[in-house]
Structure 1
Amino acid sequence: MTTDLEAQDRSATDQRAEAGVRPGVPIQIRQLSKTYGGFRALDAVDLEVRSGEFLTLLGPSGSGKSTLLMALAGFSRPTSGSIAFDGADITRLPPHKRNIGVVFQNYALFPHMNVGANVGYPLRLRRVGKAETAERVRRALDLVQLGAMAERPIDSLSGGQRQRVALARAIVFEPKILLMDEPLSALDKKLREHMQIEIRHLHGKLGVTTIYVTHDQREALTMSDRIAVIHQGRIAQIDRPRELYEAPASRFVAEFIGEAVLLPVELRDGAAWWAGRKLLGAAIREPGQAQYLVLRPEKLDLVPAGDGGSWNRFPGRVREVVYQGDSVLVSVELEGGTMVNLRKSSDRSSLSQLPAHDDAVTLGIHAEDTLVVPEDRP
């Protein structure tokens, strides 16, 4: 008997075969460094990307994520280290011999060419015949839902349509690897969120190894099989989205992924303490490092004062209540002056129980949600 999962796998395989795109290949990066004078943009990066994986490089501006992508594309030569595609060293190989598709932040479309000519340009460079080019362009445009727009001029397209054309051009020559450098940054919020799902679906059909660069953490969490967080030219952590969010490896990752306030804690006899209270459920990693309690707005709740149960409690006073449509943000000043946010649903029941400005409240975080992270290593 065929299971639903087996049917889905076979369907994805059929779609990939119909698209004419071969499955992706693994990427191996070893001790990759890039320096500009005395500045190390990449610092001995080691990274394994699995065949057909959607991996996102996530980090703040200047972290090194785009430098790493450009090294993979061949547009920036590393100072040291190596890059291999499917076991073959391509570190010194020029870009046009790497068989990779690239989607740039500004799309880099040719305004004097129509949609079909833009998509077919990589095939023209490879001297593919006219009949085969026409068929491949048709398939690529169908994949990005622009099948009827081959004759349209580029300047008549919306931002989202231009982004789809850039995607079609990047996949039309059947690349083994697809690199994407913040391709959604110019779109408005609603279209950006829609295109995140569209790109994810397209990746599922093609199975091409994809490396995607963004500084938007929600975008990375939405789209990725795994996320590599880049900080100061190094990989601070690489993990699946849920594990990265729920179990950050360090202070930097905890602060960068999601919204959080970090409170310094004391270590006594292998346990974490805050304001004279032992924290329930707080597992200590790297006990030689300073430790911080991670408080996220969606993990906190309003709880009765006192002890007992499985809650860690934090007395405070409400300083602000802000309605934000789908939720309400309650800002609370804890004893000692630290400001912490609590996020509540905006349904009728939750709204009726909200505290008011200057109310004394007790915030709680359940022992199972209590997370302590170590300071970043130098």
Structure 2
Amino acid sequence: MKFFFKPESGKAAYPGIFTGIAALFMNFIILKENRVVEGTGYSLFSSTPFWLPVAILLLIAAVLLNSFLKLSPGKQIINYIAGCLILSLTLTALVLSAFVLAIDQYAYGRISMSGGAWMLFLSSYLLMNSGKRENIPSLLKLLPWLIITAFALSGTMKDLGIFKEFGNEKKRFYEELGRHLYLSLRSVFQALIIGIPLGILAWKREKSRASVFAIINSLQTIPSLALFGILIPPLAWLSFRFPELRELGFKGVGQTPAIIALTLYALLPVTRNTFTSLSIIENRLLDAGRGMGMTTSQLFWKVELPIGLPIILGGVRIALVQTTGNTTVAALIGAGGLGFFVFRGLEQAAPDLILMGVIPIILLVILLDKVVGLLIKLLTPKGLELLYDSM
């Protein structure tokens, strides 16, 4: 294999390399006697066996040497595997630090991740994504998730602060997770019922187009917390004026204003993508349908909608990701969800409790995005992919 001393040929790996090196000189973990004390920071070298940071350093050095090689798919796979190994070693370091620092001597002792740990996670992510994803074998793409799942289910990370918080709040966690999913999915479903007809209306009637998008776009300019606040007075008045609505859960605080606000926020991507999907269909395709004797209704259901469906689902994908994140704020008005842990952690100055809310939200967003992305791929015939490429 020919060598080239050209850093630019492997420059995509440099952010991961430099981030990993910086992590070795930062505090890796914080040892706390209990949840509320400030704790003492320890570097990777002082909190784990010596071989572990050396192994990470050697992996970073290997990636650096690899960056001088001629760019190739094999080189990208090496960087990807190195990122997976750094991820695995970082999680191993979190496990071993509890033994090295003898955390058992503290009745309520716990270990919290510090800047060095987060930088190593970032380094592994950057290295795994330093090349084209299509060059990585499909099975290998599952490796990071298998590593994280194995450590999470092994029980070896029980001294990590976030797992201690989870142990204390397990029942409440699953309840709030269910509420978070319910609020997100119901809001997106309602946005579909409203947004798709609005998109069709904007496409068919040019006079209505400006008004439809003016209203929907203006809703996006209102901060989420402000919109929740705006909805509280009228909903509270309605529940007071009509007791039967209150019995159905229609109140000024709680899930009702949250669902209304989240539905309004989800309207734009659904409506916009519905309008776009129908607008880009070329006249020649419609003329071909008319030439076959199709009616206007048949053209819509057999030509326009099937061609536009992947783009409409793209809007659903955006709405689902956006809504899952926005649902976090709904906890402030008593709607529940994983935001409950985020804001309670902020109130109590408990970073581990905040992470117990934030990390599942991130994982939910990634999971829902991948699921809808897979659905789009399955529902898009090869012929439509070629058609989109030609447009």
- Normalized against structure 1, the TM-score is what? 0.28
Between structures 1 and 2, the one with greater strand share: 1
Structure exhibiting the larger radius of gyration computed from Cα positions: 2
